[in-house]
Amino acid sequence: MSGSGRRSSKPAAEEKTRGWGFDGAPAGTRRGDGMRSPGTLAWRAALCCVLLETVLLPARGLNMCMSGSATSCEECLLIHPSCAWCAQEEFGRGRSLTSRCDFSQNLQKRGCDARLIEFPTSSISVLQNMPLSSKGSGSTQYDVVQIMPQKISVSLRPGDQTWFGLQVRQVEDYPVDLYYLMDLSLSMKDDLDTIRNLGTKLALEMGKLTSNFRLGFGSFVDKNMSPFSYTAPKYQENPCNGYKLFPNCVPTFGFRNILSLTDKVDRFNEEVQKQMVSRNRDAPEGGFDAILQAAVCKEEIGWRKEAYHLLVFATDDVPHLALDGRLGGLVQPHDGRCHLDNQNEYSGSTKMDYPSLALLGEKLAENNIFLIFAVTKRLYVIYKNFTALIPGTTVEILDQDSKNVIQLIIAAYNNIRSKVELSVWDHPEDIGLSFTATCQDGKPLPGLRKCADLKIGDTVSFNVSVEARSCPPRGADRSFTIKPVGFKDRLEVTVDYRCDCGCSRKAQTNSSICSATGTYNCGTCHCEPGYLGARCECQEGEASSVYLSACREAEGKQICSGRGECSCNQCLCYESEFGKIYGGYCECDDFTCARHKGILCSGHGECHCGECKCHAGYVGDNCNCSTETSACVADDGQMCSGRGGCVCGRCLCTEPGAFGDTCEKCPTCPDACGTKRECIECRLFNSGRLADNQTCQRLCKDEIITVEALDTEDPGSVLCLYKTDTDCVMKFTYSEHASGRSVLTALKEPECGGGPDAPMVLLAVVGSILLVGVVLLAVWKLAITVHDRREFARFQSARSRARYEMASNPLYKQPVSTHFVETDFNAYGKSFNGGVH
């Protein structure tokens, strides 16, 4: 309803609505409650609360519509999305011009005809909405749809947020193109020997994931010029000349496309077996030159439009970056184009500088290529930092001789297929976008545009809130594209702006309503220079006490707030070097709002009458607080690793001892050992919860060092141990280095006790029994001895008492003993006989 500016009652069948649902149906279409996910309902409820807050907040305090500086319908619409303009001629007589700008319900209460109220709103129209596919190969492979809808049109009123939903699905059995780009410098000789039969083995493994697989091969060394390579005449044909360990190699080259993508994997083996290594002078290689050519030379490499594009980059050293070419006199920046000659070699190697990371990321995304860095362990951190700057890239650790290259590619492929991340192309600066992801758990995640830990065939939903911050020049339309990283599918969004009022098309110049000295437009007069007043009835310079009283906001206040002059019943505000002064009484301005680091409203909002009106995605008095939460999501999918909260787009760690961008580092946390245990299990022993779901390499990125014996004396490390399924004890230490790296030091093998020795057990049991018997006998002997001594003492005491009693008893008489003494019997007899006579 760009013409009239009033609300229109369109049929629901036209698929035109204020918002567009998760499920692919227009939000205005009535559906059963059972068909709506909890995440959708929760998100919609939250959005309704926000919109209600937006409308009601001004009503509780300052009426920003009436206090604004709007003297025309178009200016009114720019103040706030809740402001409306009354185009009725008789409305507002005797009031200031700004009284025509108010909330729609207020205008109707004050007598404005609803048909003459200009109040355009934002809306969404679905233009193309093909259903999602379920399979990627077969007869339908050229019509595969992985994002829904495909085209929409958005009509935006500045400041008025609206939203639409989209769904993304990783279809099963999707074709795969894999291009193996290998460093053929001298240090990679053993790796070249390892991959000579890679094609057959890799095709066999990839055949388990897709029925449509193609393989290609390319190689690189470095720029064949000083100081990057040996340039003396004797090294031109053989850079290894004089090198004793390996005296023969091929001339140095930048990039060479050896085998374009093909489903004949035997060709891959044949071409690889023909290759020989070369030699360059410095340690860094020219790999980024090769990556860019492999990405942009679509026809020469053979990338298919309907396939996943995997570019495996295998090297054992760091790459040259942009500006390194100046060391060799190359001042021309890379142009980002394909430069392969008839021999399929990079012809611009000695003419242009190395590409920058920004150019590399742009061309990879433009051609939907997933880049897999396959590098040795010592380079992991360096290339990991590259992945943060180049969207759609992953890094995997390559063995010194590339023995694990197949497992590496399979793991990287599964990692890529396990996540969906949205990117925005050609994003207009005056349009604000914010995302809410609803992944497999059904919970809305505001500020997030990525879902991880997905299975092939899963469908995820995203809600996109869109807001126009300003109006572009008349007739200018905008468009942008939303596409999942690495997908060919995309959602095209065209934007038109609702900045004009329908009543402006009926403007009358030199209208009699305006005293023939102005243009009548949307109920107001726009006077010619030198004339003032609601009907252009006054000339500049006229003044009276009646006019002056109308220029005071209240009795006792300054005329025009001391920041303007009163002329013909109106305030003419002064100009200021700081910004604009406006309002019916010059009471407002756009420069006295809160600042952050000296920037008004932090650069993320507009200053209106002393208050910051924040853009979408920002809140706070000075709009310095971002509502984006993607930077707070840890690798395990938890917000701030479950140890803090996301405040203004950054993690605020609340768990004592936790630190890091997502509070992921916490050696002293109670769950530190348990978290790191899972990484020890899957990385060292391929066991545990993370071993089967292909998330080990993604979640467990800490450096793991295996040792024979642990050093438990380090005060900066935490000793962890756990019992394995085999009843052994696994020990490891967890520490955080000053460089920010987490290091796990683990035993090579768990500590397990030996089997029991039967004779020793028997001897121990017998010895224990004997020992117990001897102890019991000793105790018994001791008890008997103590008892006997007590009884003997008692007997001695009783005996002493008995002696005393016999000595003192008067009835007792000592017995007398009589003893006969022997005499001479003969003498006695003679005496006896004589007596007888």
- Specify the 3-state DSSP secondary structure of 756: coil
Report the mean per-residue pLDDT for the chain: 81
pLDDT > 90? residue 388: no
DSSP 8-state code for residue 26: B
Q: Using an 8 Å Cβ cutoff, are 223 and 286 in contact? A: yes
Phi and psi at 683, nearest 5°, equal -75, -40
Which runs of E-coded beta strand occur in 469-523?
Answer: 478-484, 491-497, 518-521
Torsion of CA 187, 191, 193, 197, to 10 degrees: -160
- Model confidence over 773-819: pLDDT tens digits? 999 999 998 889 988 888 888 888 887 776 655 555 555 566 667 66
Ramachandran sector of residue 822 (left: φ over 0; alpha: ψ -120 to 50; beta: rest): beta
Long-range residue pairs from 815-819, CB within 8 A, at least 24 positions apart, any chain = none
Q: How many CB atoms lie within 10 A of CB 161?
A: 21
Q: What gap in Å lies between CA 701 and CA 411, rounded to an integer?
A: 14
pLDDT > 80? residue 114: yes
Cα-based distances in Å from 199 to 191, 214, 531: 14, 10, 85
User: Which one, of 258, 276, 278, lies nearest residue 199 by Cα?
Assistant: 258
Average pLDDT of span 41-58: 45
Distance of CA 113 to the CA centre of its chain: 51
Q: What is the DSSP string of 61-113?
A: S--TTTTS---SHHHHHHH-TTEEEE--TTTTTTS-GGGGEEEHHHHHHTT--
- Specify the 3-state DSSP secondary structure of 309: strand
User: Which one, of 548, 550, 549, 515, lies nearest residue 534 by Cα?
Assistant: 515
Q: What gap in Å lies between CA 633 and CA 448, rounded to an integer?
A: 9
Amino acid code (one letter) for 77 = L
pLDDT tier at 434, thresholds 50, 70, 90: very high
Give the strand pairing for 588-589 and 450-451: unpaired
CA atoms within 13 A on the CB side of 186: 20
Torsion of CA 59, 62, 68, 72, to 10 degrees: 20
pLDDT > 70? residue 39: no
Q: What is the DSSP string of 163-189?
A: EEEEEEE--BS--EEEEEEEE-BGGGH
What Rg value do the Cα atoms of the chain yield, rounded?
47
Which pLDDT score is estimated for 484? 92
- Model confidence over 117-151: pLDDT tens digits? 999 999 999 999 999 988 876 555 568 899 999 99
Q: Using an 8 Å Cβ cutoff, are 472 and 497 in contact? A: yes
pLDDT > 70? residue 407: yes
814: burial class by Cβ within 10 Å (0-12, 13-18, 19+)? exposed
Q: What is the DSSP string of 529-582?
A: TTEESTTS-EETT---HHHHHTTBSSTTSPBGGGSEEEETTEEEEPPBTTB-EE
Phi and psi at 132, nearest 5°, equal -70, 145
- Model confidence over 248-294: pLDDT tens digits? 899 999 999 999 999 998 899 999 989 989 988 888 999 999 999 99
Tokens for 315, please give them. 């090297």
Average pLDDT of span 660-675: 78
- Model confidence over 217-252: pLDDT tens digits? 999 999 999 999 888 888 888 888 888 778 889 999
- Model confidence over 460-517: pLDDT tens digits? 999 999 999 888 887 677 899 999 988 889 999 999 888 888 898 888 888 888 888 8
Q: Using an 8 Å Cβ cutoff, are 624 and 648 in contact? A: yes
Which pLDDT score is estimated for 658? 83
Which pLDDT score is estimated for 704? 80
User: Which one, of 564, 196, 610, 263, lies nearest residue 403 by Cα?
Assistant: 196
pLDDT > 80? residue 374: yes
Q: How many CB atoms lie within 10 A of CB 610?
A: 14
Which pLDDT score is estimated for 222? 93
Q: Using an 8 Å Cβ cutoff, are 448 and 455 in contact? A: no
